[in-house]
């Protein structure tokens, strides 16, 4: 299932060259997507789910997905919704219509963040050169999503498969993230 989701929402950007291709790990820039920051209280969740087309996750560190949709739990009252780029305007107006009666905030953050796809048997190892949390599958299961740090920059990390991750970082921090990842991967070549 994770593979399907990745290919639908987070696909490698064919107009950009891969950042790293090694037998054990690859880093691909992801194609642009529509990203929406949703903040509201419990009263708005059912309405938002109806507007967006997928339940809004209430279990910490989880994501809910449907065809062309993903909703990520980022905090007790904060979510990020991801959908194909072309549907942004429709999603924003749907959310605004449905949530009209409850206090909420819906903000388009599509261009604030970029994503890269890190995959391969050593993907977790490579990310752990900068991510301080335990990425073993027993501690960070497939489907887990969290905000954390990569060295000094905040990132959002989503595990889409045992060996595949989506890393989201702010646009101006992306070169820092990918640069350090590519540099750390040099160690794999030496081994």
Partner 1 sequence: MLLIQCPYCGVERPELEFSCRGEAHIARPADPSATTDEQWAEYLYLRTNPKGVIAERWRHIHGCGRFFNALRDTVSDKFLMVYKAGEPKPDPAQFSKEAGR
Cα distance between residue 35 and residue 60, in whole Å = 20
CB of 120 to partner 1, least distance (A): 25
CB of 132 to partner 1, least distance (A): 4
CA separation (Å) from 98 to 10, 24, 69, 79, 108? 27, 46, 17, 16, 16
145, two tokens: 């999503």
Binding site for partner 1 (CB under 8 A): 60-61, 74-76, 78, 132-133, 146-149, 154
For partner 1, the closer of residues 150 and 165 by Cβ is: 150
Contact 51, 100 (CB under 8 A): no
Cα distance between residue 146 and residue 132, in whole Å = 12
For partner 1, the closer of residues 59 and 86 by Cβ is: 59
CB of 75 to partner 1, least distance (A): 4
For partner 1, the closer of residues 6 and 72 by Cβ is: 72
CB of 60 to partner 1, least distance (A): 5
- HEC letters along 12-61: ECCCCCCCEECCCCEEEEECCEEEEEEEECHHHHHHHHHHHCCCCCCCCC
For partner 1, the closer of residues 12 and 45 by Cβ is: 45
């Amino acid at each position: 299932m994770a593979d399907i989701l990745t290919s639908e929402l987070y696909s490698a950007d064919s107009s950009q060259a891969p950042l790293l291709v090694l037998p054990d790990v690859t880093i691909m820039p992801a194609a642009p997507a529509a990203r929406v920051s949703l903040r509201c209280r419990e009263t708005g969740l059912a309405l938002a789910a109806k507007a967006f087309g997928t339940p809004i996750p209430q279990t910490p560190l989880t994501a809910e997905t449907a065809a062309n949709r993903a909703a990520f739990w980022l905090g007790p009252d904060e979510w990020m919704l991801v959908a194909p780029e072309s549907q942004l305007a429709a999603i924003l107006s749907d959310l605004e219509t449905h949530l009209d009666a409850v206090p909420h905030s819906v903000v388009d953050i599509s261009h604030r963040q970029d994503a890269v796809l890190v995959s391969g048997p050593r993907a977790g190892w490579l990310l752990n050169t900068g991510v301080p949390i335990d990425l073993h599958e027993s501690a960070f299961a497939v489907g887990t999503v969290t905000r954390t740090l990569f060295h000094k920059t905040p990132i959002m990390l989503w595990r889409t498969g045992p060996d595949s991750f989506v890393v989201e970082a702010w646009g101006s921090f992306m070169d820092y993230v990918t640069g350090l990842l590519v540099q750390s991967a040099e160690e794999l070549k030496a081994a």
